[in-house]
Copies of this chain bind each other. A is one copy, B any other.
Amino acid sequence: MSTEQWHSQRLIRVRELLGQQTAVHAMLLSDLNDIRWLSGFTGSSGWLLITATDMWLFTDGRYAEQAHAQINAVGVAAQVIECRTQQNVFEALAQRLSTCSHIWFQSAHLTFDVFQTLNNSVSANWVPAPALLRAIRRSKDAGEIALMGQACDIADRALAGVLPMLLSEPSERNVRDQLDYLMRQLGADGPSYDTIVATGPINAARPHHSPTDTRIEEGHTLIIDVGALVNGYHSDMTRSYVIGEMNGEQIHAYEAVREAQAAGVALARPGVATRDVDAMCRKVLHQAGLEEMFNHGTGHGVGLLIHEDPYLNSSSPAILQAGDVVTIEPGVYRRGFGGLRVEDLIVITEFSNRTLNTSPKEPSCQPSPLTT
């Protein structure tokens, strides 16, 4: 299918959602990711109003011309209305809502204040829709999976590109800068999130550490968490290393994390509760005596957001379904020890799953006999 066909399918599904309602006549999208997903518009300011028959995109002067071009590129029939201020948007909205009395708004996105202003400015029955397009957007179409596959491939290649420099005692920032540069050279729009490079007994013990000038030393644990952004779609992957010989504790922990990750992936298929995948990872780490060191959830969905539905943790009610793209990323952390994490991005298929990234999982970075 073409880009136009994907977008046309998306609009059909959104209008079906609206069509199932007798008491709601329109939806007002304020979440720019939803607006992008549906209309192709990527500006940083916009509102999208959708009825059974019409669609209007409200944006400001900076984006009006771009909005026309992007909407035409994906073949979506929406009118672009240029508005200078939020108040102008609400006035323009009011004009187009004469026949719509009940309207969904994105209550998980609009702030308390903006909703108050909307409610005071546009006379309608505003119906909170906490998760309006979440279920539709959760299931990725082949166009989206292809983009995330490209993003994974770029991150794989960038990671392979920095491995040689790890032996020359670079700083965390040096590695981060090189990864981000390589990803762009390889066609990414940028990193998918703030690239994590964390090494040593303190920094690597922080799952979401920001790179510093700390140097990567022999014998220390090293976590690299890196993804690429391609046309708005994210990838997400983590690999862990020790430069030189691993000690017994590191080998034990790495093998347990790798096994926990593999066991989580092996379980992931349609119909399985995400909390069971989380429990499986914890069980493997528990048997290795390391469960206490795993202090975050097992994974999350990825798409136009780096964190989205479904979440894989002990309190998530989600059941995996075909089209989910999720991370599986157990890790262990302790101040003094440092940390180790292994993470893949997988797509749930009809009967099992497929891993989108391909970076090897060998943790020990030894100086190559050819280069020393």
Contact = CB atoms under 8 A, between A and B. Distances in A.
Contact of A180 (B108, B184, B206): B184
Contacts of A61: 207, 295-296
A181 B177 contact: yes
Contacts of A66: 206, 208-209
Contacts of A210: 42, 189
Contacts of A335: 65
A206 B107 contact: no
Number of copies: 2
Interface string A109-120: 111111110000
B128 A62 contact: no
Contacts of A180: 180-181, 184, 190
A137 to B, nearest CB: 17
Output the residue of A42, A181, A194 with the most chain B CB within 10 A.
Answer: A181
Contacts of A176: 184
Contact of A113 (B130, B184, B185, B209): B130
A173 interface: yes
Nearest to A307: B44
A240 to B, nearest CB: 16
Given A107-B112, A130-B113, A173-B184, A208 B43 contact: yes
A315 interface: yes
A83 B53 CA distance: 46
A43 B194 CA distance: 12
Contact of A208 (B63, B85, B110, B205): B63
Given A85-B315, A181-B181, A184-B177, A207 B62 contact: yes
Interface residues of A, number: 45
A27 to B, nearest CB: 15
A132 B173 CA distance: 35
Nearest to A173: B184
Given A111-B110, A208-B44, A177 B173 contact: no
Interface string A156-185: 000000000000000001001100110011
A206 B180 CA distance: 26
Contacts of A84: 315
Interface in A256-312: 295-296
A144 interface: no
A62 B190 CA distance: 24
Contacts of A153: none
A343 B184 CA distance: 26
Nearest to A42: B210
Contacts of A184: 173, 176-177, 180
Contact of A62 (B108, B111, B173, B206): B206
Contact of A177 (B185, B207, B208, B315): B185
A60 interface: yes
A69 to B, nearest CB: 8
14 contacts: A43-B208, A60-B296, A62-B207, A65-B335, A107-B112, A108-B113, A112-B115, A113-B128, A113-B130, A173-B184, A177-B185, A180-B180, A180-B184, A181-B181
Interface of A: 42-44, 60-66, 84-85, 105, 107-116, 128, 130, 173, 176-177, 180-181, 184-185, 189-190, 194, 205-210, 295-296, 315, 335
Interchain residue pairs A-B with the least CB separation, the first 5: A61-B295, A107-B112, A177-B184, A62-B207, A108-B113
Given A64-B295, A177-B181, 10 more contacts: A42-B210, A61-B295, A66-B208, A66-B209, A107-B111, A108-B112, A111-B111, A111-B112, A112-B128, A180-B190
